[in-house]
Amino acid sequence: MDYKRTASEVLKNVGGKENVAHFEHCSTRLRFSLKDDNKADVPKLESIDGVMAVKMGSQCQVVIGNDVIEVYDEVVNLLGPRFAGDEDETQQANKPT
């Protein structure tokens, strides 16, 4: 799987980075909170190489499987530093006041 290509296609078909309010992952899924769920193109998402399934509910969950962390990292690179918050939030929580 080409992680960069998969990440780029997934991001495009959830409505672009402008449509992403929050982004995280679990052990097998990319989890998007979208500003407008109607901008997500589920059939196109399901056709992307590396995507096993898509579940729409309170989040748009894109099932990747064991390669989820690699695809997640590539999506974060495309979204920019605002979405790379895991490390930054931890650092902020541990910062002396």
For residue 78, the one-letter residue type is L
CB-facing half-sphere around the CA of 42: CA atoms within 13 A:
10
Which of 16, 26, 52, 89 is the catalytic position? 26
Q: Is 60 marked active-site?
A: no
Q: Which residues of 62-72 are buried (b: 16+ CB within 10 A; e: fewer)?
A: bbbeeebeebb
Q: Tell me which residues are annotated as active site.
A: 26
